[in-house]
Amino acid sequence: MTSYYRPGSASEAVAILAANPGAMVIAGGTDLVIDRRLGRADPRAPLVDVTGINELRGVRWDGDELHLGATATISAIESDPAVIVRTSALAEAARVLGSVQIRNMATLGGNLCTASPAAEMVPPLMVHDAVAAIRGPAGERRQAVADVVTGPRTTILASGEILTNVRLRAPALSGSCYLRQTVRWAMDLAGVGVAAWVLTDGTGREAAVQEARVALGAVAPTAVLVPGLESLLAGAPPTTERLGAVSAAASAACEPISDTRGTAEHRRHVAGVLAARALSIAHARAAGLWSGGLAPVNGRASAVTSSGERA
Amino acid sequence: MRISITVNGDPVAQPVDPSDTLLSVLRERLHLIGTKWGCLTGDCGACTVIVDDRSVVSCLQTVGQIDGADITTIEGIAGRGRMMNDLQEAFVTHGAAQCGFCTPGMVVAAEQLLRDGVEPNGAAIREGLAGNLCRCTGYSKIIDAVLSVALARME
Amino acid sequence: MRSDYAVVGKRIPKLDAPDKVTGRTVYADDLKLSGLLTAAIKRSPHPHARILSVDVSAAEALPGVYAVIHAGNVTQRPFGFGHDNTPLKDRVVRCVGDEVAAVAAVDAATAQRALDLISVDYELLPAVDDPFEALQPGAPRIHDELDIEGNVSMEWNFQTGDLAEAERRSAVIVSGSYSSPQAAPAPIETHVVIAGFDADGALEVISPVHMVFMYRKELADCLGLDWRRITVRQPPVGGSFGGKIDIDAHDFIAVMLARAARRPVKLAMSREEEFTGTRTRQPIHFQLRTGAAADGTLLFRHAEVVSDNGAYNAWGSHALLVAMNTVTSMYRVGTSRLNAKVVYTNKNYGGSVRGFGNPQATFAVEQQMEELADALGMDPMDLRLKNANRPGDVTPQGLEITSCGLSECLETVRRKSSWDQRRGRMRRQHRGLGAAAYVHVGGGARIYGSDGCGAMTKIDDSGRVALISGSSELGQGSETALAMIVAETLGVPLEAVSVSHDDTDVKPWDVGVHASRTTFVAGNAARMAAAKARDELLKGAAEVLDRPARSLTIRDGVISVPGEPTATLRYEKAVRRRLLREGSSIIMTSAFYDPPTQRQDENYVGNISASYGFGAHVVEVEVDPDTGMVRVLGLWAAHDVGRAINPMSCEGQIEGGAVMGVGLALSEELPVEDGRFPAPNLHDYGMPTAMDAPPIDVTLIETADELGPFGAKGIGEGGIILPPAAIANAVADAVGVRPRSYPIRPWKLRRWIETGERSHVDKRPQLVRDVNAR
Ligand SMILES: Cc1cc2nc3c(=O)[nH]c(=O)nc-3n(C[C@H](O)[C@H](O)[C@H](O)COP(=O)(O)OP(=O)(O)OC[C@H]3O[C@@H](n4cnc5c(N)ncnc54)[C@H](O)[C@@H]3O)c2cc1C
Ligand code: FES
Ligand code: FES
């Protein structure tokens, strides 16, 4: 029988991990249970279930600061009304992750710590400049989410450390968007996932970009921030020409591989396409021009079905 | 470890390995074989059950996490003393089950979707059931069945 | 056409539906037997290797292990077409997943541990996973024990008419290559088989197989068993789509394990094993040319075909039989030629998956119809209608077209999709419409000595009518259709009819469920047996009512004399009157129906089916040309079903098939890397979800086939054949490029858009002008 612990506090969890070398944290289990069955993770390793810890739970707003507990489920993020409006990229990423059932189980912390190059929530957190709190035997440290994942399936968490929460700010006049390219329209990992975030100096079509960030998923060993956007965008609205430059910068920031979800060349191209689309939607949101709810998954105004399903 | 859960209204207390999946406990311990499996990777939805008002894939749900939970499987969807509920009847009359292997998971997922107040239109139902693969029906009749109940329950 | 039926033509819920929606149906993996062991198979991790040694001693020593088998400690004979396969491989493994050893143990964990303890030494051999490379001189020989050249396991060559002359007369010739991927039937239920011997040595196998009598024979032949002492029971099947049709290595292995362990064993495939270790849909590569006169009259079709068979010949090697029909017989194409090579490769091998070669062939043939129409400046629907098969046609391969609603199908989807108003006019929104049509066997397919099916009916003293049919229910609804046929024929209420068809000890012989044949062949057998039972019923009633039997009618269970309202008798009373007396007798009848068809001769000529099914689809897509993503917005389907015994089931078959076809067209694929499937799981495979499936508008066209039961024809495969071709055509309409292969995954489409993949058209202006001048 596997040793199984269900601590009631973060410090208890840390103590258990310290006392059981090789023990693994389990949250929603949607990655770990499969990995254990297929032998990609040691099926006999003791499990430390963090879903019983109150302080790790929940989606909470404190003014313009969003506090996401490590065990906040993807469905809780997806359905938070303020997340949908103020940090739309997070809601858009959450909405396309797996299925209803998977989203009910899967957690934000699990998505981050599983460190898949295609992990859906990471690019949105990066563009929102989110900061992760990590608890270990030596206490808590904070680390930009952009620095948490260090490679495919590796993070900066030392053994014995757990992720406790992620925090970010959603100031006024900011907006974000997450788009992706997949083969199927649901239940698929991203071939390319792109998050964009924009802070403007005002509202309306002419609102100038003050700050902008674009992060790319599934096109490099870890999600990457596209460098050098300020010089391309700051001080003006995102014109077609500027968006073209964003596309080029995004494509250049990719180090993709070819696999069953796309060729390297294609990924590089699509990263550019989606970066421009996501950025212009993020700008529209920041500038108060967006009224459409969540964007279509590939950012293209998609059609309604035509052979007559009863509405 | 011993867990105490309620399955379809019946209290169940069983010694279990907490890292066992809910699927294996339902099928192998409790002999509730109505819940099916098709992948064990969360992709097909055949193993869907309701845990405390949320649908989950029981193949990835460890039982250690759900001590005290209230679980509904296909065997309990209709409620006591009833063979079928309105949704199950709609599946029958609309021809929404062919081989039937996806059906228990589909019915359970759809029931929770309805309880959550899914918008009564094809697109919303399709999105809500995207985690339940059906290889036989092409989904049309499943969507029609769920839609008919969504509309009927609104009245 | 008659329409006053009491049962036939009604939307009847499937008889097994209530149990299915309540979770009561017991599938193979749900069965519990006392003493049941768990089996597991040790498979080759290499695409091609020599087996140097197999050491099972450690596995045998593990407590809880009851049997460990490998080629060295069992008796087995080769099986498969050409006997190129053995259940456990003894010298060479030829694909990843090849069965090398197997264990039976008390539980799954012990079985897995035992597998890990088996050590196999391999000497790696050069492998080839591309059929064109396998054809090259110097390619690795995959079956060096066979006397074949260039890894060609089989050839299919057909020629009719003067090709050179037809080419000379053609005003336009379109040519191109069209390829399909390795795909999988992927039912949601994986393969599960249970085998056990009783104390007296008789074997019982519980298996979802649906060519059950051949299965029994193959078990006996390969394992040296007495086939009179084999019973096969078929549990409810969680989908097959051809994947479970016939015998596979694991079936023999389960029986050998049961024999060695002297205990019943259950072998349940994991999803990963289902993809690597059970049969797939083989990739087929077409080089096709079609020529037409300037007025659109088709003049010839010429196909050079390579089928990527995989490591052994299972049914998949015969998919060319169907592909050939499409090349020679879809529309009237006088002259045609097909040369096909079936080539061994070091990969999982092909089985007979739904559609059986037809989606692949139609992808080529029907794209060329639209390419040809565009080159001729004709509407593709007009081109199709001009050349459509018609009742009375005999195609060059000898297919006798009797009932044929092809034109009506085409006109229906044309109208319903607003084709004339919309095709070619939505490119600015990157939307397009595409069409395709098919011909497929619809009245059985004589691929075996007999294409028959038996049926028995018995009516007991309660009035219960039992149909015992040779066929099998796979979820497709045949059980309900057969019950409806019996109820209609007998004139009794549907509730009175039960169907059993799951036990070889009880049921009469049948070839099996394949080739869309069940409603037609098993339906006719059921109708014949029921008609005999009706005669018996009326004979008995005649005595009671004192009227001649032929003056009696029966409807809704009431036997009556027309015009005499008081002279009535309930049918169950007639049964009891016969039974409860001296000199009593029961009502029990049987029939065997073998359609009036021919096996194809050595030139591939022969009318293999008693009728042919036709259908047409129009699909609407929206393309995102910058990401290559394609969304199917709608699908209009019209199918000539002869007669819809149960319209709801017909629609279900068509809708389900169509969505499988959408999966083929856009997403489903088992990509191979170095002979391996890197991702044998449902996440990567790409089966359509409810969000990928379009809303589907189905029209059933009824042509009342002369030979079909109540006019019905087969419909089980029609739906899947068309979407790859229709979607490719719709993509071409939306963005102006020609998909050369499916699935049309985003990066492929974007590459075609970038390279401007176009039709290859050879126009002869001289001939075009000649015709226009006339
Ligand atoms: C069918 C299916 C579809 C999916 N689709 C998508 C998709 O579209 N996009 C996507 O990004 N992902 C997808 N996933 C992957 C998965 O659901 C997500 O990565 C999910 O967010 C993981 O969360 P979890 O809570 O289930 O993680 P677990 O499985 O519980 O844990 C994952 C890893 O993170 C570690 N971990 C978890 N929590 C903590 C913590 N607080 N501190 C330290 N370490 C921790 C665990 O030790 C483990 O190594 C899919 C999975 C399935 C089964
Ligand atoms: S078995 Fe659980 S999702 Fe497939
Ligand atoms: S009915 Fe067969 S898988 Fe859905």
Which of C14, C25, C27, C188 for a ligand 3 pocket mutation test, highest count of atoms within 8 Å of Cβ?
C188
Check residue B88 and give its pLDDT.
Answer: 98
pLDDT the model gives residue A307? 46
B100 lines ligand 3 (CB under 6 A): yes
Dihedral (CA of C292, C297, C299, C301) sign: positive
Ligand with smallest separation from the Cα of C16 = 3
pLDDT score of C391: 97
Report the 10 Å Cβ neighbour count for C736. 16
pLDDT on residue C675: 87
Q: Are residues B23 and B53 in the same domain?
A: yes
Low-confidence ranges of chain A (pLDDT < 70): 1, 301-311
> Do B71 and B8 reside in the same domain of the chain?
yes
Q: Are residues B90 and B134 in the same domain?
A: yes
The radius of gyration of chain A from alpha carbons, rounded to an integer in Å, stands at 19
Q: Would residue B65 count as lying in a domain?
A: yes
First to last CA, chain C: 42
- Half-sphere CA count of C533, side-chain side, radius 13 A: 35
Region of B3 (left: φ > 0; alpha: ψ -120 to 50; beta: rest) is: beta
3-state secondary structure of C346: coil
Let me know if residue B145 belongs to a domain: yes
Residues B63 and B18 in one domain: yes
State which of B50, B76, B102 marks the end of a domain: B76
Instruction: Give residue C252's pLDDT.
Output: 98
- Is the bond leading into C596 cis (omega within 30 degrees of zero)? no
* Nearest alpha carbon, ligand 3 atom 3: B134
Whose atoms come closest to the Cα of B39: which ligand?
2
Residues B11 and B41 in one domain: yes
Quickly list H helices, A202-263.
Answer: 229-233, 240-252
- Kindly report, residue by residue over C342-353, the tens digit of the pLDDT: 999 999 999 999
Give me the long-range contacts of A251-255 (CB less than 8 A, separation at least 24). A253/A216, A253/A219, A253/A220, A253/A224, A253/A225, A253/A226, A253/A227, A254/A216, A254/A219, A254/A220, A254/A224, A255/A219, A255/A220, A255/A221, A255/A224
Confidence at residue C772, expressed as pLDDT on a 0 to 100 scale? 46
- B135 to C658: CB separation less than 8 angstroms, yes or no: no
The reply to whether B105 and B52 lie within a common domain is no
Neighbour tally for A137: CB within 10 Å: 12
**Residue B134: CB within 6 Å of ligand 3?**
yes
Q: Are A112 and A30 in contact (CB under 8 A)?
A: no
Strand-pairing partners, residue C99, are: C43
Single-letter amino acid, residue B122: G
Q: pLDDT over 70 for what percent of chain C?
A: 99
Whether residues B8 and B56 share a domain: the answer is: yes
Handedness of CA A299, A304, A305, A311 (dihedral sign): positive
Subunit contact A4:B18, Cβ cutoff 8 A: yes
**Given B39, B58, B76, which residue is the final one in a domain?**
B76
pLDDT at res. C1 = 63
CATH class (in words) of the domain with range A174-286: alpha beta
Phi-psi label, residue A248: left if phi above 0, alpha if psi -120 to 50, beta otherwise: alpha
Cβ A254 vs Cβ A216: under 8 Å? yes
* Cα of C654 from ligand 1 centre, angstroms: 38
| Shared-domain flag, residues B62 and B94 | no
* Pocket perturbation via mutation, ligand 2, pick of B39, B108, B129 by most ligand atoms within 8 A of CB: B39
Per-residue pLDDT, C62: 98
Report residues of chain C scoring pLDDT below 70: 1, 765-774
- Concatenated DSSP letters of C529-546: HHHHHHHHHHHHHHHHHT
Q: How many CB atoms lie within 10 A of CB C483?
A: 25
- Ligand sitting nearest the alpha carbon of A178: 1
Domain total of chain B: 2
Report how far residue C159's alpha carbon sits from residue C285's, in angstroms, rounded to the nearest whole number: 19
Residue among A47, A100, A105 whose CB faces B60 most closely? A105
Neighbours of C579 (CB within 10 A): 15
Minimum-distance CB partner of C634 among A261, A273, A305: A305
The predicted pLDDT at position C82 comes to 85
Q: Which of B34, B39, B96 sits opposite C24 (nearest CB)?
A: B34
B60 and B96 together in one domain: no
Q: Determine, yes or no, domain membership for B81.
A: no
CATH (domain of B25): 3.10.20.30
Residue in C624, C683, C697 nearest the CB of A300: C624
Q: Which helix (H) or strand (E) covers residue A111, if one does?
A: helix A108-114
- In whole angstroms, give the CA distance from residue A144 to residue A160: 19
Measured in Å, how far apart are chain A's first and last C-alpha atoms? 51
Q: Are residues B66 and B104 in the same domain?
A: no
**In C539-688, which ranges are E strands?**
553-555, 558-561, 564-570, 587-593, 612-624, 629-640
Taking residue C162's Cβ as centre, other Cβ atoms within 10 Å add up to 13
Q: Which residues line ligand 2 (CB under 6 A)?
A: B 37-40, 42-47, 57, 59
The nearest alpha carbon in chain C to A308 belongs to C695
Could you tell me which chains touch chain C, where touching means 3 or more CB pairs under 8 A? A, B
* Distance in Å, CA B142 to ligand 3 centroid: 10
- Only one residue has tokens 């090349």, namely C327
Tokens describing residue C20: 């299915």
With 80 as the cut, is the pLDDT of residue B18 above it?
yes
Residue contacts between B and C (CB atoms, under 8 Å): 175
CA distance A12 to chain C (A): 33
Are residues B38 and B93 located together in one domain of the fold? no
Domains by residue range for chain C, with CATH: 17-24+452-593 (3.30.365.10), 31-125+190-238+244-277 (3.90.1170.50), 284-446+600-770 (3.30.365.10)
Q: What is the pLDDT of residue C81?
A: 86
Provide the CATH number for the domain around residue B90.
Answer: 1.10.150.120
Query: What's the domain range around B23?
Result: 2-76
Q: Which residues pair with C587 in a beta bridge?
A: C459
What is the pLDDT at residue C765? 66
Instruction: Please tell me the distance from the alpha carbon of residue A104 to that of residue B49, in angstroms, as a whole number.
Output: 12
Q: Are residues B91 and B122 in the same domain?
A: yes
